[in-house]
Amino acid sequence: MSRVGCAPWHDDLAVNWLEPLIAETELPQRIEEMLRHEVQDVSLPGIRAASCLLILLGDEMIWPTDDLDNLLCLAIEKLSLCVELERDEKCKSILEKEVGMLGLMRDKTVFSQRVEPICELWRSWLS
């Protein structure tokens, strides 16, 4: 068993469980399908939910890397359009934080530098 960090997915046994689970549930395909929708008021919640799954599970150790890079770019594009549609300022601010987090992930920002932004995002979601 090899552990490379303290995150739940930074362990070979966890990767051996999570990677096939993500593949078998067709999560990458389902997320991509949702992100391919045209951005409008009725699709915004689904696009946001798909993007948030990427924030929560989008780690190269457990996700098909090619899919992840493409999905992160697509999520940033679509969620940025959702920001423009959002009328509520608090929700708009949270959407902007989500876009920012996806950008950090796309740019392969080291995990330790993502800690504060993800904590801030969780505080926003739960407030």
| pLDDT tens by residue, 3-61 | 777 777 788 888 899 989 998 999 999 999 999 999 998 899 999 999 999 999 998 88
pTM of the full structure: 0.90
Is 84's pLDDT higher than 70?
A: yes
Measured at the CA of 99, the angle between CA 113 and CA 29, to 5 degrees, comes to 105
Can you tell me the mean pLDDT for 120-127?
Answer: 96
The answer to whether 97 and 121 are in contact (CB under 8 A) is: yes
Domain extents for the chain?
12-126
